[in-house]
Chain A
Amino acid sequence: MNTPLSWIRDYVPDLTCTDKEYYDRMTLSGTKVESWTRLDKNCEKIVVGRVEELTKHPDADHLFVTRLNIGRAYAEDGYTAETDGLDGQYENCIQICTSAQNLHVGDVVPVCLNGGKVAGGHDGLEPPENGFKIKAGKMRGLPSVGMMCGITELGSDEQFYPGSINDGIYIFPKEYGDSLELGSDAVEALGLHDTSFEYEITSNRVDCYSILGIAREATVTFGVPFKAPEVQLRLEGEKETKDFIDVEIEAKDLCTRYIACAITDVKLGPSPWWMQRRLSNYGIRPINNLVDITNFVMMEYGQPMHAYDYDTLHGGKIVVKRAKDGEKFTTLDGQERNLDSDVLMIADGDRYVGLAGIMGGEDSMITGGVKTVLLESATFNGTNIRKASKRIGMRTDASAIFEKGLDPYNAEAAMDRACQLFEELGCGKVAKSYVDVHDELPALRRIPFEPERINAFLGTSYTKEHMLEIFRAEELEYDEATNEIIIPSFRQDLRQMCDLAEECARFDGYDKVPSTLPRSSATIGRLTPMMEIENAARDICMDYGYSEAETFSFESPKVFDALKLPEDDPLRRTIRIRNPLGDDYSIMRTTPIPGMLQSLATNYNRKNENVKLYQLGKVYLAKELPLVDYPDEREQLVLGFYGNGDFFNLKGVVEDFLRFVGMKDKPVYTRSDKPFLHPGRQAAIAYDGKELGFLGEMHPDVLKNYGIGARAYVAQIDMPTILEFASFVHHFEGIAKFPAISRDLSMVVPKAVPAGEIEAVFDRRGGKILESYSLFDIYEGAQVKEGCKSMAYNLTFRNKERTLAADEVDKAMKKILNGLEGLGIELRA
């Protein structure tokens, strides 16, 4: 909605405020103003002048020299015999040279005086922020002490002022021009001292898609009276509309009301100046009286209307019905449209004449020779119009309003108003009565008036009288007998107590509602256990230098190929978006690895070194496809890096995280076979027999697919599994009081035996007294036997109860050594 304030003022005559005040107060009472534009921006010292004399410039073929009478502005604006360009020879006259070719003696024109300003040029360029200054000067040697203005120079557009031309001076229409006082404000005369406000109307306020709706809001907001248009009909037609036409609504579910009125003796012509100005300041081009009336009423009442040339209608009949699948129809813009059975049509006796609520047909459109008009004011199903206009692919001003769902009572009010304007403008004779087809219209809604409940709900203490005062200003009546508020039909949004509460709060002011905190029962604020372990993961990751990434939850189905996953890999069972932004965003991710790789690649391409990232996000695993129930949304921790570090650095982060969330047992690593990882450098991680995730170095093929030119490592941990084991409960175990005994174990180990197996022997055979062990040397090379590696562990033994005896340790070591022998391990000499 983009409405001129002047039009609002027609119905709120006592509205006195600045643009800024209007903006602030309307916004705060619920009619949000998005922006406003002054239509007279940069128009200064522009007066009405009359061309008294017009001669060719002696030294330039394309220039004219004009003598302009500017009335009292002459003296008021400081012109003298020295500055008027005419040596004071003519009373109240100044000289202006112009290249415009459209002037005649006697024309009344806007004149920008010396020192004034105009808004723009007529070159079609964006007008400058501060307009153009106009100064007296000389043109080809002759004084020119001002400028006559074209309509674009005044910040408007020639399409809004019929008869004006782009590269000429604006000439006031003869009769209107002659009525203007010379020297008076020409911007005023053009109706441009006005402000256009753009509103954001919420979908519940259908009534505010109209000037009257906004005017009502302004009325209550500013506490000034509302002056509705006075509508009285003379009904001069000789016949009744039913003598012309028979109306039948076949599709009653899609059309609540259809009012038709015949208007005879139609005389087309321009609409009056005042109507043209209301429309033009709204941004609507005046066309002729008939079109202008329907546009005017559409904006004023929020009710689109349609005019048919009665003589083109067949069979004296209008039928409102659904189209049939596969039918076609040519709208008045000459386009052929495909129809289906959900499109509502207006038909005459034997063919379609309009797409209901969207656009009329080519065959019945008004042309210059029209004698009798059939005017339509109807109420169509908003949803149907919205869907139909979308399917057909045309959204018109009318359909945009209809799709909000209109008030059937308003259809009649708007028809009355239109007919009155036909009479007032001498555009035609209105038939004695309408044809008005509708079932019983819904009764006016009544809401019990419960002031205490309203106050209790809002936390306010409005008096009953104050509430009623607000309601009355809004035209909500109070029925004292039943203690009910009667809701006018145009306020479809008011249905119950909370709606009335809002009316009180917004018109008294949301700012005046107290600000309190709930006094209700105490509750404990906390995160979910999952969020707790996610935060633990964040802490650990950050300690190790990893930064948090976020990636989209959907991605391209091509990622599985980039990861070298086989065709039957379960990760390829994805949830597909039916209407994605594109194929690259079409599936819900089943693995967070591609997002991580993409982020690493972005950094790699930008030459960032040593990049370490982690991400906490969900994967979306369908329990069955197609999806019928909620999928398993599983939170995953994924880490990725390139640069300094290797597999074991990443393993350290994973283990530290597990320990941090209370998983104190040793995770078990087994070689795995993910196709996207280095075949020799990857492991599945299990805890207490359950798989937690994996870690490894990326496969070079995959790195290539993502354009990463460095070794990169990733780890993925399934957080719901972590949640099963995690615990933040700590038990103090006491600090060891008795001394430990430490033994070094140097071994020659067959290459194929992994450290994990050696450690498993320690764990199994070391007994209770084995407190800890650590690998301190590993070596493969010349000094070691072929096919073997040298490994050295330090083992620490301790008894918590007493001092340990050396022979106890010897016994334990012996047991361990026996176990190691079974793995083919020898002690190093």
Chain B
Amino acid sequence: MIQEDLERIREEAKEQIEKAVSSDDINQIKVNILGKKGALTAILRGMKDVAKEDRPKVGQLVNETREKIEQALAKTQAEMEAKAQNARLSAETIDVTLPAKRMERGHLHPNQVALREIEEIFIGMGYEVVDGPEVEKDYYNFEALNIPADHPAKDEQDTFYINRDMLLRTQTSGVQIHEMEKGRIPIRMIAPGRVYRADEVDATHSPVFHQVEGLVVDKGITFADLKGTLAEFAKGVFGEETKVRFRPHHFPFTEPSAEMDISCFKCGGKGCSFCKNEGWIEILGCGMVHPHVLEMCHIDPEEYSGFAFGIGLERIALLKYEIDDMRLLYENDIRFLRQF
């Protein structure tokens, strides 16, 4: 009798579950059959009428039935949920080729991009980066650099003067003197900064531009050290393949002096329009610190020696990023700046 009832309840449940279309239906079935007032619960309530010895068997049967129904319900519910999720996901399909949403990041000035590369290389070699005054005394810009009062380099046509003793520095080399005067040796420093020359603005000239001065002073510093150091610099900035060439030159504050060329990074030195068929591109001036300059800074040239170099920052930036007009650097057109 009870067995029959259970069989019927199971059949009904099966029928109802098959018909169910929503989780509400499923819940309703749960209430109808398994709930407090449900059919199965009613049977349990009828247990008191079952013979005592049959009770365990009947109880087991009831539990089995409940388990089966619960399993069926759970399975159906899982299937329904999966289906519903699939439907939602499918409805949520997007066009992945639509434009990206980006936050516009700002950009460094190309001078700064180049400077950071240069600084990184020299900081890695133990160089301190220092700053020096742009409005400079005549002594530091000229005299202490072995450029005496009568030297043609002092002509007004090149130098902006404030008055007889003060001027806008024409080179960062004066920072060498400031550093040496501090009396701390060894010195390994680079000094980036603005310099000023009385040149009209055009594609290759600007009255304001930047140099990066370098100075090393210690015992036993050699011309070979200068070569090796600057070769490392060139490789760091222009790539491992870069070759360097040193040409004798003259600067009043170094002796020997040199200009350094790098192998053209466009053609690898074969010669192209970029390097004017030379295969080489002039990059910087350098040399061994002149003994007289050391002496003026109270450094004994018999005991110490040093090398110095001056890099034109814009020159590096223009070359490296192939910028064909220097004026672009100071216009700050956002379409230009965004490219760096």
Between A545, A576, A577, A608, the greatest number of chain B beta carbons within 10 A of the residue's beta carbon is seen for: A577
The reply to whether B163 and A580 contact each other, CB–CB distance below 8 Å, is no
**Surface stretch bound by A, among B37-45, B47-55, B77-85, B223-231:** B223-231
Between B163, B223, B246, B288, the greatest number of chain A beta carbons within 10 A of the residue's beta carbon is seen for: B223
Nearest B residue to A534 by beta-carbon distance?
B112
**Surface stretch bound by B, among A175-183, A199-207, A749-757, A787-795:** A199-207
Query: Does B1 interact with chain A (Cβ within 8 Å)?
Result: no
Nearest B residue to A384 by beta-carbon distance?
B150
Query: Hey, what's the 0/1 contact readout for A548-585 against B, CB within 8 Å counting as 1?
Result: 11111110000000000000000000011111110001
A549 to B107, CA, bound (A): 9
Query: Does A514 interact with chain B (Cβ within 8 Å)?
Result: yes
B164 to chain A, nearest CB (A): 9
Query: Does A63 interact with chain B (Cβ within 8 Å)?
Result: no
A585 to B198, CA, bound (A): 11
**Surface stretch bound by B, among A139-147, A495-503, A686-694:** A495-503
A551 to B128, CA, bound (A): 26
Partner of B135, one of A511, A614, A631: A631
A521 to B216, CA, bound (A): 11
Known contacts A513-B223, A551-B332: A525-B124 contact under CB 8 Å? yes
A599 to chain B, nearest CB (A): 4
A531 to B131, CA, bound (A): 9
The reply to whether A603 and B332 contact each other, CB–CB distance below 8 Å, is yes
The reply to whether B232 and A552 contact each other, CB–CB distance below 8 Å, is no
**Surface stretch bound by A, among B19-27, B68-76, B89-97, B154-162:** B154-162
The reply to whether A579 and B255 contact each other, CB–CB distance below 8 Å, is no
Chain B residues touching A, majority SS: mixed
The reply to whether A553 and B194 contact each other, CB–CB distance below 8 Å, is yes
A538 to B314, CA, bound (A): 19
The reply to whether A505 and B163 contact each other, CB–CB distance below 8 Å, is no
The reply to whether A516 and B228 contact each other, CB–CB distance below 8 Å, is yes
Query: Does B138 interact with chain A (Cβ within 8 Å)?
Result: no
User: A579-603: which have CB < 8 Å to B?
Assistant: 579-581, 585, 588, 599, 602-603
Q: Which residues of A contact B123 (CB under 8 A)?
A: 525-527
The reply to whether A519 and B126 contact each other, CB–CB distance below 8 Å, is no
A520 to B329, CA, bound (A): 39
The reply to whether B106 and A525 contact each other, CB–CB distance below 8 Å, is no
Partner of A518, one of B225, B330, B332: B225
B127 to chain A, nearest CB (A): 5
Query: Does B99 interact with chain A (Cβ within 8 Å)?
Result: no
Partner of A521, one of B186, B194, B208: B186
The reply to whether B247 and A633 contact each other, CB–CB distance below 8 Å, is no
A516 to B248, CA, bound (A): 18
B133 to chain A, nearest CB (A): 5
Q: Which residues of B contact A386 (CB under 8 A)?
A: 152
The reply to whether A581 and B222 contact each other, CB–CB distance below 8 Å, is no
Known contacts A459-B223, A514-B224: A602-B126 contact under CB 8 Å? no
A520 to B305, CA, bound (A): 11
Query: Does A28 interact with chain B (Cβ within 8 Å)?
Result: yes
B148 to chain A, nearest CB (A): 9
A459 to B307, CA, bound (A): 13
Known contacts A32-B247, A459-B223: A515-B135 contact under CB 8 Å? no
The reply to whether B109 and A548 contact each other, CB–CB distance below 8 Å, is yes
B247 to chain A, nearest CB (A): 6
The reply to whether B330 and A618 contact each other, CB–CB distance below 8 Å, is no
B67 to chain A, nearest CB (A): 42
A506 to B222, CA, bound (A): 15
Known contacts A30-B249, A502-B256, A550-B111: A519-B220 contact under CB 8 Å? yes
The reply to whether B218 and A458 contact each other, CB–CB distance below 8 Å, is no
Q: Which residues of B contact A575 (CB under 8 A)?
A: 135, 162
Partner of A517, one of B119, B208, B232, B338: B232
A458 to B188, CA, bound (A): 19
Query: Does A620 interact with chain B (Cβ within 8 Å)?
Result: yes
Known contacts A501-B256, A575-B135: A515-B231 contact under CB 8 Å? yes
Q: Which residues of A contact B162 (CB under 8 A)?
A: 575-578, 627
Known contacts A545-B104, A548-B109: A502-B248 contact under CB 8 Å? yes
User: B236-276: which have CB < 8 Å to A?
Assistant: 245-250, 252, 255-258
The reply to whether A603 and B334 contact each other, CB–CB distance below 8 Å, is yes
Q: Which residues of A contact B122 (CB under 8 A)?
A: 525
Q: Which residues of A contact B222 (CB under 8 A)?
A: 456-459, 516
Query: Does A460 interact with chain B (Cβ within 8 Å)?
Result: yes
Query: Hey, what's the 0/1 contact readout for B174-217 against A, CB within 8 Å counting as 1?
Result: 00000000000010100000101010100000011000000010
Q: Which residues of A contact B312 (CB under 8 A)?
A: none
Q: Which residues of A contact B225 (CB under 8 A)?
A: 459, 516-518
Query: Does A523 interact with chain B (Cβ within 8 Å)?
Result: yes
User: A680-733: which have CB < 8 Å to B?
Assistant: none
The reply to whether B107 and A518 contact each other, CB–CB distance below 8 Å, is no
Nearest B residue to A530 by beta-carbon distance?
B131
A428 to B338, CA, bound (A): 75
Query: Does A274 interact with chain B (Cβ within 8 Å)?
Result: no
The reply to whether B107 and A548 contact each other, CB–CB distance below 8 Å, is yes
A628 to chain B, nearest CB (A): 8
The reply to whether B333 and A528 contact each other, CB–CB distance below 8 Å, is no
The reply to whether A515 and B333 contact each other, CB–CB distance below 8 Å, is no
Query: Does A541 interact with chain B (Cβ within 8 Å)?
Result: yes
Nearest A residue to B246 by beta-carbon distance?
A510
Known contacts A203-B152, A527-B129, A547-B338: A542-B218 contact under CB 8 Å? no
Query: Does A546 interact with chain B (Cβ within 8 Å)?
Result: yes
Q: Which residues of A contact B105 (CB under 8 A)?
A: 542-543, 545
Query: Hey, what's the 0/1 contact readout for A29-65 against B, CB within 8 Å counting as 1?
Result: 1101000000000000000000000000000000000
7 pairs of A and B residues whose beta carbons are closest in the complex = A459-B224, A459-B222, A30-B248, A202-B250, A502-B256, A525-B123, A542-B106
What would 10 A/B residue contacts be, using CB atoms closer than 8 Å? A28-B245, A403-B152, A460-B223, A515-B227, A525-B122, A578-B162, A579-B198, A585-B207, A602-B332, A627-B162
Give me 6 other A-B pairs in contact (C-beta within 8 A), A520-B219, A548-B112, A549-B337 excluded.
Answer: A403-B152, A498-B290, A518-B221, A526-B128, A527-B123, A547-B332
